[in-house]
Homo-oligomer: A and B are copies of this chain.
Amino acid sequence: MTIPTNDIAPSVTTGPLPASRKTYVAGALHPDIRVPMREIATHPTAGEGPLPVYDSSGPYTDPEAVIDVASGLPPLRRDWIMARGDVAGYAGRHVKPEDNGFVSGERLVVEFPVRAQPLRGTGGAAPTQLAYARAGIITPEMEFVAIRENQLREAGPVTRDGNDWGASIPDHVTPEFVRSEIAAGRAIIPANINHPELEPMIIGRNFLVKVNANMGTSAVTSSMEEEVEKLVWAIRWGADTVMDLSTGRNIHNTREWIIRNSPVPIGTVPIYQALEKVNGVAEDLTWEVFRDTLIEQAEQGVDYFTIHAGVRLHMVPMTVERVTGIVSRGGSIMAKWCLHHHRESFLYEHFEEICDICRQYDVSFSLGDGLRPGSISDANDAAQFAELETLGELTKIAWARDCQVMIEGPGHVAMHKIKENMDKQLECCHEAPFYTLGPLTTDIAPVYDHITSGIGAAMIGWFGCAMLCYVTPKEHLGLPDRDDVKTGVITYKIAAHAADLAKGLPGAQRRDDALSRARFEFRWEDQFNLSLDPETARDFHDQTLPKEAHKVAHFCSMCGPKFCSMKISHDIRAEAQKEGMATMAEKYREGGDLYVPVDSGEDG
């Protein structure tokens, strides 16, 4: 292609969030790593300096970074990968017409201008984070996520407040702790060796709860330009990973643009593209088509694959009496294939070969819940739990081949069944990380399913789920646009953060405390800037009180100037400071004419 890149590259949103500055923290074991953080400045009167927060937004929010979408992000992991000496470049698979749905000419999404030779493992060694962890090696990726998880909180004992339901959350995340969690299979770092642009992140019950955002073109709508911007937009608001669920045409070329510009792990459901290659006829799927698709995507750098290998033939009849049958696209494709061919799926039968492919590139498994419940009525039924048990068996097979694994979960589940789900997953799947969609806690609120599911997501995150797949307001109704993506991501950041607080994750409450102090001290600008959505917070405030003077006013529109509870609390505090808190408390405990003794319990 000779088209100049400035003609073909989509435009994306760049620049820092308000009052925010990108900083980088170097490693100790690996001094060349640069772990990104975001520092949110607070007003000098706060006397507490900037607050460092986790930053998934990549170089797009760094004014120093040169962003050129047609070149892709810098391959920051390349040297780490090559230094390990266990991978080599090779010619790689040629792009075939079916990879892009047989489109050509103007309808073909332009190829990404730069093509790097793919890498794969050489010899018998597995270039996976799990293999390294088991060998006692602390990789740069592991130190990177350790620094990232701590968000610059100090090492050493911390006050713990929370209930972690038997997790083993450390006071401080060390690189060795990361290694040990990965070695035990309790956490994964999805990081394909062909995605060197990645800023590593970790998914596990003893770390911050993560959020995934789904996007992707469909046969009905969407374009490559929109998808790249949606990616950048989703990570700006906090998405930790992104799944490209494209169907229809141009899947290959669109995915290449996405991966080359993604600092977060990209997941896919390879069966979707495989199905496109056989013109949407599930029965025509073959192991060969699927295998070729896996290699195609692994060479591009997909970091995790959803594989619905747990849908087994004998489970299909268990779904027939359900209110909503099988609602997973991948699950229903495989069920149909199984019934038609009257045999176990090629995903199940060839699972070991799938592992061997994933192992060569360090593609993590996200074992799909093809039989997840699609309605409150179908939750926690025999089909769902039978599949979960199979996923546990498959986990052991993947682990035996040094592949990283997480497990996908539902779906639609009423609140009283959520903990049972989580507990059963931990038991059946040997503590492999759980990754759930929602769950939605009622069926009656299309338009608001980010909320119905945000409730379930917060709860299952608290109970031990490691990553929460977002649901947008368009769920069940249409494809999410840019606003929906933002709403979905922020709703899920709330759910994840609520879970972190309830688990007692050290340091999680720092941001709440900083924002609440700002609120109490009428530092309106700090209140906006410390929030998850500073611009909208400011806009909402200004709808009632638009003047700049109101940003320093010691009141707000709810009460008005005469009448503010926060202001009265300051008066009380001032009085206490004047005479001393202890004296004040003592005075009010005294008996006497005016005071009713404490605990006297009498009337009036």
Contact = CB atoms under 8 A, between A and B. Distances in A.
A512 B572 CA distance: 50
A139 to B, nearest CB: 29
Nearest to A504: B416
Interface in A538-577: 540-541, 543-545, 556-566, 568-573, 575-576
B596 A163 contact: no
Contacts of A575: 339
Interface stretch (A13-21, A31-39, A62-70, A487-495): A487-495
B572 A319 contact: yes
B332 A445 contact: no
A312 B447 CA distance: 45
A477 interface: yes
B595 A313 contact: yes
A352 B458 contact: no
Interface residues of A, number: 141
Interface of A: 161-163, 218-221, 247-248, 275, 279-280, 282, 312-314, 316-321, 323-329, 331-333, 335-336, 339, 342-344, 348-352, 374-377, 393, 397, 412, 414-416, 441-448, 450-452, 454-455, 458-459, 462, 473-474, 476-479, 481, 490-491, 493-495, 497-499, 501-504, 509, 511-513, 515-517, 519-520, 527-528, 530-533, 536-537, 540-541, 543-545, 556-566, 568-573, 575-576, 581, 584-585, 588-589, 594-596, 598, 601, 603-604
A336 B512 contact: no
Nearest to A574: B320
A233 to B, nearest CB: 17
Contact of A444 (B344, B481, B515): B515
Contacts of A448: 490-491, 494, 532-533
A589 B323 contact: no
B533 A320 contact: no
Nearest to A538: B477
Contacts of A319: 569, 572
A592 B350 CA distance: 18
Contacts of A527: 446, 476
Contact of A601 (B393, B543, B544, B601): B393
Contacts of A598: 314
Contacts of A447: 531-533, 536-537, 540
A397 B556 CA distance: 37
Contacts of A317: 576, 581, 584-585, 588
Contact of A560 (B220, B446, B462): B220
A377 B377 CA distance: 38
A536 B484 CA distance: 14
Contact of A462 (B349, B415, B569, B601): B415
18 contacts: A219-B560, A280-B562, A316-B588, A320-B572, A325-B566, A415-B502, A441-B494, A443-B512, A444-B497, A445-B533, A447-B537, A451-B491, A455-B495, A455-B498, A474-B543, A477-B544, A478-B540, A479-B557
Given A329-B563, A454-B455, A517-B323, A478 B568 contact: no
A36 to B, nearest CB: 20
Given A501-B415, A531-B444, A325 B520 contact: yes
